[in-house]
Amino acid sequence: MMITLRLSDPLRTKLAALAKTQGISRSELIRKCLDDYLARSDAEPSAWELGKDLFGCSNSGQGDRSRRAKDIARERIHARQTERNRR
């Protein structure tokens, strides 16, 4: 498969210099870079996978806390205003 790729002048210059230093074509260097990048991205766990053991472990008893964040904030503000009015 052939892909057309537009590069900035500085990037094209760096690519050409590195390819020349390694004695390979620019296309071969791009293929190697893509292979390395894709291999790393497959091996790295996602943010969800890294934290899945921590999510929901606070045991607040409020499993819907994230969905009700606005309501909870509103309730707290109302409680503070009520407390101030009593003074």
Task: From first to last of the 87 residues of the chain, give the pLDDT tens digit.
Answer: 889 999 999 999 999 999 999 999 999 999 999 999 888 877 778 788 888 777 765 666 667 777 888 888 899 899 888 888 887
Q: List C-alpha distances in Å: 34 to 20, 38, 54.
A: 18, 6, 33
In a domain, 5, yes or no: no
Distance (Å, rounded) from C-alpha 12 to C-alpha 79?
A: 62
**What is the extent of the structural domain holding 28?**
11-47
13 token code pair: 């210059």
In a domain, 40, yes or no: yes
Number of domains in the chain: 1
In a domain, 81, yes or no: no
In a domain, 25, yes or no: yes
In a domain, 1, yes or no: no
In a domain, 80, yes or no: no
In a domain, 86, yes or no: no
Torsion of CA 23, 27, 31, 36, to 10 degrees: 50
